[in-house]
Amino acid sequence: MKIYSEKLNKLFDTVEACEKAEFEAKEAENREKIRKERAEAEAKAKKEKEAAERKAAAAELDEARKEMVAAQKHYAELLDNFIKKYKSYHYTTNSIADIPTLFESLNLFNLL
């Protein structure tokens, strides 16, 4: 007489063989489930770590921007006071990198 396993959709010669096969199949399912859970946990931890790193980098950028804006405002005030007192200001440069862009020039006078 053959034993049919509904879980495995197979025929077995003995009840013991059927139970053993079903047990092994269940164990394999459990191992796969645990592997998937670990992979998901690792992915979640990686995502959280990247989010924390991004947040820290963004905070550092925000702080640097605040310092830059404060320095630009201070420079603009000093330049404005200098021009009011002496009527003009000029500086000489030897590098094109020292010449401010149009955007930077407009921003110095708080036009943007």
Token pair in block for residue 27: 């164990």
Q: Are 26 and 34 in contact (CB under 8 A)?
A: no
Question: Which residue matches tokens 């959280």?
Answer: 48
Q: Domain count for the chain, please give it.
A: 1
**Per-residue model confidence as pLDDT tens for the chain (112 residues):** 888 888 888 888 888 998 999 999 999 999 999 999 999 999 999 999 999 999 999 999 999 999 999 999 999 999 999 999 999 988 776 666 666 665 666 665 555 4
Query: Cα separation of 29 and 39, whole Å?
Result: 15
- Domain of 41 in residue numbering reads as 3-108
**Which helix H or strand E contains 11, and what residues bound it?**
strand 10-12
User: What's the pTM value of the predicted model, to 2 decimals?
Assistant: 0.52
